[in-house]
Amino acid sequence: MPQLGLLHGRAWAVLFGQLRRPPGAVCIRAVHSHSQVAEAALATQLKPHQEKSNFIIKTPKGTRDLSPQQMVVREKILDMVVSCFKRHGAKGLDTPAFELKDFDIAGQFDPMIPDAECLKIVCEILSGLQLGDFLIKMSWKDVRHEMVAKKGLAAEVADRIGDYVQCHGGVSLVKQMFQDPRLSQNKQALEGLGDLKLLFEYLTLFGIAEKISFDLSLARGLDYYTGVIYEAVLLQTPAHAEEELLNVGSVAAGGRYDGLVGMFDPKGHNVPCVGLSIGVERIFSIVEQRMKTFGEKIRTTETQVFVATPQKNFLQERLKLIAELWDAGIKAELMYKNNPKLLTQLHYCENMGIPLVVIIGEQELKEGVIKLRSVASREEVAITRENLVAEIQKRLSES
């Protein structure tokens, strides 16, 4: 079961500074679809006394071509991420940059509610993708500097908290810190612990508290974070012990950045924000590696029905039949030959993973029926032409 770790940077310094934010305002949720734009770089070399130009087409650095199989996997990952974002009320926003999927909540709200939802989203996506356990790490040095140098917290109290953050845990660790007299006597530490306790209450209600873990051996390098910071990394489990573990780093990350928007506002208006990023490229590399390891076969089309015939000169009948299927919203295809062999058509369906075949020939045309064949079981039944679409839709809904 995945575990999510939390990390407080500047104001996980929360133990030392207030993260209280006034209620009100409207939540602005944005899904950033950062897609790498694969534009070919065109180099033109003009030589003296030559009318023609020499064109060299290159693939841009940081991009790559994807095979149909890879595209299917990639689209499934993106669909799952985006559908999760939409389930949480996201609005779309496209900014061409690196391949990430971001979810951000902007506005002034009561403490820890948006932060908890972001963590819930990370859990939903990584659990849905079935990538295995994930964990967060954070170093103590940066947090201690933040508390002592910028928050004014006494060094001995910061060192005492350092004893705790070298460990990792969840709700039990928070309770233990609450009971420490040296922390409980410090107002700033109590305020931070209160927010942390509140966050765990929300995570418990979301059903993900048991997936939360603290491990403060790794610090995130971005200076604009101001509160809770999280970074999900995959861990090898016994179930995936036979796999070659890819060292891809974090697969999801995010945190609170209350001061970033104000840096770009001419009037300096601050907009509290918390968000997350899903590393699509890294996840894709992991899934691709697993496909190679286990020899998984990926369908490159979504074709549901193949229109076939066992006889010659039936192209027109096949075209009329496939048009009926298309008009009914059924994904169908046929072979682009006048007189294809039936065995060739059936082998194609097996290779492409197409579940159903409709067969029309002289006998079927004479009786006013169509043969419906299951590719997997090879069973065939005769269906009247008027009932064919309904029968196909019924089978597809049951599969």
Gap between the Cα atoms of 259 and 268, Å rounded: 9
Q: What is the largest CA-CA distance in the chain?
A: 93
Pairing mode, if any, of strands 228-234 and 212-213?
unpaired
Gap between the Cα atoms of 53 and 307, Å rounded: 48
Contact 198, 113 (CB under 8 A): no
How distant is the alpha carbon of residue 355 from its chain centre?
28
The one-character DSSP state at 259 is T
Gap between the Cα atoms of 23 and 121, Å rounded: 22
Gap between the Cα atoms of 208 and 218, Å rounded: 22
3-state secondary structure of 225: coil
Of 274, 271, 232, nearest to 256 by C-alpha is 274
Q: What are the helix and strand counts (H, E) for the chain?
A: 13, 17
Gap between the Cα atoms of 165 and 109, Å rounded: 27
Classify each residue of 175-194 as buried b or exposed e, where b means 16 or more C-beta atoms within 10 Å of its C-beta: eebeebeebeebebbebbbb
Residues whose CB is less than 8 angstroms from the CB of residue 304 and which lie 6 or more positions away in sequence, other chains included = 330, 331, 332, 354, 355, 356, 392, 396
Which amino acid is present at 142? D
| Residue 260 CB coordination number (10 Å) | 18
Of 21, 23, 22, 19, nearest to 193 by C-alpha is 19
How distant is the alpha carbon of residue 292 from its chain centre?
20
Rg (CA), the chain: 29
202 is in an annotated binding site: no
225 is in an annotated binding site: yes
Residue 357 backbone phi and psi in degrees, to 5: -130, 135
Binding residues for L-histidine: 220, 224-225
Binding residues: 220, 224-225
